[in-house]
Each structure stands twice: as structure tokens, then as C-alpha cells.
A and B are shown apart, each in its own frame.
Chain A
């Protein structure tokens, strides 16, 4: 059991996102963005629902990115990212209903709200390590869930409704900014794409800044960093708050798009799904989790018509864990580096599995 605690402290995630800084990596990112931007109008004309799915994939990619930043770098596994996601979402819902639908005002506030919630959770939690940290974030996020579900603020403040209880806040409009109405899904898609792309660049930069290196150092050897005179706890809280800001931003994009903010956004199942996205995609690569997020959304959508979708989805998780431990990113990298031996590698993986079961 020691190993669990140790592992969480010193996750063996690869040097984060480094391959993205190479010339080839930048090109790949740029090409993906351009392809998405060009594909959108075609999707819109041919099959509008794809566009709808793409928007959600990108929003969850952003959410996964925010978690990978804090987990891949500082080694802080948050099992409560739903709290920041939901907080950003509720903030956006309330602002749009009562104040303004201007994205340039609402989205930054959603980020601030996400950062504040993460700051609070982080401040209480960072002294704990590994699995204990994960459990603490889970506990705090569930508190937010219960508070939203029972609409505790309304009871305390004597209002008729604040979070809207179990029904949530519904009928939320989409953004409207300086005359541009994002009600059309195509425009909303571009808004999302731009936001996600900017966030991606920002987080990548941040990861490789001196700040990011300290976080990385904390993951590798917390005591040494402390010894060097850094305030480790403060760095962790700050890193966690930054991650929370982007989670809040994802919430701020998601809620107006869905037209509803509800307690389900804060539930641990979202946090759990998010961890699944990271593992499926490939931890600590920044781009892997984004792919993982897209894949999970895609699978859920494609399987929604099957009565037995839970068996299929669960089965995919199991197979990936056993046969592709580095996730999608690992599989893609291995195919790219060694295209000829794909079949041999697959065979080896299966033989390996059988040997271990027989042990």
C-alpha cells in the first residue's frame, strides 16, 4: 500500500507535453486546429449534429487539459474537478440570466470562480499527499454537489431559489458579444475552438515556464524543492487554482451551450469520467487527455442507441488498461515510432497478458 502513496507522489508521467514544443509537434497542433476550423462548415451543412458533438468534445478536452496540467505536472490527482467545472457553469448561468450574455465578461468571471473554488479546495488539501489528496478533493467536490442539489444557499439566505435545486437552472441563452449572436451552433463552435486553442497554448507555455518547472520539481522531489527555498504549498495551491480556472472556463462554455446548469455537473461521476479520459488518452502528455476526452464523448454518443452500451464502454476501459497502458497517446506514439512492428507488439502484449494470468 505504500507504493500507492508513493506512486501518486511521484507519478512516472513522461516529461509533459515536450513533444509538442518540437517543430513537428507545433505543426501537428496547427494542422489539427485548421482542419477543425475547415471541417466545421461542412459538418454543419451535412450533419449538424456532428458539430454539436464536436463542441462538446472540445469543451471536455479543455476540462481534461486542465486536470492533466495539475496532475501531469505537480502530481496532484484531483478527484474533484467537477466542482470547478460546475462552479464555472453555475456562474455563467446566473450571469447570463441576470447580468449580461457578453462572453468577454462572463467567461473570464467563470474562470475566476473556478480559480477561487480551486483555491479554497487546494488550500485545504495540498498538505495531504497522493491518494489522501485525491480523497480530499473528492470530499470537497461532493460538498458542492450536495449544496447545489439541496439548494442550501437559498435556505440560508431565505431566497426562493439560488441553484435551482435538483432541477438546476434551465433555459440559459447562448452568448451574445458586441452584436455577434452565438446562438448558431457554427459560431459557437468557433468561439469554443478559439477558447480551447488559446487555453491550450497558455497551459503549454505555463507548463514550460519557470513556474511549471517548479511544479514539475515538486512532483519529482518535494523535499528538495522545499530545501531550495520554494514555498511548496503555495506553488501547489497556485497551480491548482490555475487548473481550476480552466476547468471553470470549460464550465462557462458548456452551460450556455447545453442551456442548463444542474447539480449533475458537480457530481463525482464527472470527476471520475475525467480521470478515465486522462488515462485513456495518456497521462501527462496534454494532447493525449484531449484525445481521450473526445473519444469518450464520441463513444457515449455512438453507443447511446445500444441497450448494452454500459457493457461495451466498460469493456473498452478494461481492454485499454490491460493492453494499452500508455493510453491513446502511447499507442499513437508507438505506431509512429515503430510502424512495422505493430502486429508483433500486439501479439507480445497478448502473450504477456496470458503469462501473467497463469502465474
Chain B
């Protein structure tokens, strides 16, 4: 607890917002899928991991400039999301929910092993982009430019997404499907298409998050997505699963918890990854519907 200066506080604040924004992008994917299918998509963390590899190879192997490479990587990840839904979740639409969960664990396992075969298990370095990684100094606080861009990009994407969900026709179909799957189908909504679009959007956001994650923590290996994936799911639960704004709030909160507990109690830094799980247990026991979620009786 010795001497935490205001500079350190500001520094941590910047870090927390950056981390929280990254979590938010991935958490949205979880919350949207859960909203419609009532499925924890365990493979979401692996989608995150794959998009880092896509970006890596578009830059290093295809020699594309970084903006094109990232764009292609994001597109590929969107397509990957649709393929996964089509191949692993659609055949189980009438099956019990737990089968769907098992299938998503199977997909996660498959993608990890696929990554080992395609990209090898050797750790790779995410290609640096100077524009994001330059360090600037504002009032004694040294931060990467990334710390400014990440929250901005996240904010823009969330606003676009909220517009999409609340104001467009496909968004209306999504909301209807998440309220009542069967009835929406009876009302003539093409539920399969809605679900495909949901997976696509979730994967695209995860890809944006993954690329920025890679710029901040430039180390890729086939298991890199699992832990961030689970943490982002927890963020979605903290906020109230099924609720996009909730996911963003939960993710920011989780970012703050992780950064500030380590700041105030440096001895706990080794246990950093456990905080999220403790937060999950606490929120499930105290307020199972999440911070902004509606009460749903059958959740717990």
C-alpha cells in the first residue's frame, strides 16, 4: 500500500478503461448469442484466438498493409462465426440445451487443435503497428496511443450496434427472437438467418477486440483465447446476460477490478486471473440477473 501517487492512479485508470473496452467487445458476442440461443458459446474465446492468427498471417504472409490485413481478418472471423453456427449449433436446434453447450465445448477443443496444426503451438509475435503503439505523455502519464483509440473504437462500435439492434428490421427480429424463439418463428421471422447474423456480429466484434488485444499484448498461441473468453463471459454475466449495455458496463467494471486490485494490493498480482471468477460467484449469489438485467426466475 506504499505511496500510490496520482500519476499512478491516472495511469491505472487509462489501463483499466482500455482493458475494459477490450473485454466489452468480446462480451457483447457472448451476450447476444446467449440472448437468442440461451447458449454459453464456449467457442467464442477460440474465435477470438483465430482472428489474431488471421491478422498475423495477413500481415506477415500476405504482406498486406496493416489496415487491409485487419479488415480481411475481421471479415474472415465473421465468416468463421457463421460456419461454426451452421455446422455445430444448427443441427442441435431441437436438442436439449446441454447438448448445445457440449457442442460448443467440442468446437472450442476442435479450434484449439486446429490452430496447433495450422499455425503450430510455437508462440508468435503479433505484428506491431507504430500508429497504435507509440507512447505519448500527457501530464506525466505515459500511455500508448492504443489506450486512446481502443475506448473510442469500442464506443463507436457499441453505438452502431445499439442502432442496429434498436432501429433496424434485423435488429427487431433479433430482439423478437431473444424474447420468444418459437413465437418469432411462427410470426414469420427467419430465425436461422437471425442467428447467423448474430454470430457474425459477435465474431466481428470479437475480431476487432482480438486485434486490439494483440496490439496491446502481442503474444499469440493456440490457447490465448480461452481465459479472455471466459472473463468476457463473466463480464457479460456481471452486467446482466442478454443485455448489450450490461455487457459493456460489466466489462468496464471487470477491467477496473483487475487493474485496481493489483494497484492497491501488489502482492495479489499472481492471483489476477482469479478475480473475475470470484466476481462471478459473488454476482451470481447476490444479484443473479446482473447489474442491469431483468429478473429471470429460472436462471438460478
- Report whether chain A binds chain B: no
Binding site for B on A (CB under 8 A): none
Binding site for A on B (CB under 8 A): none
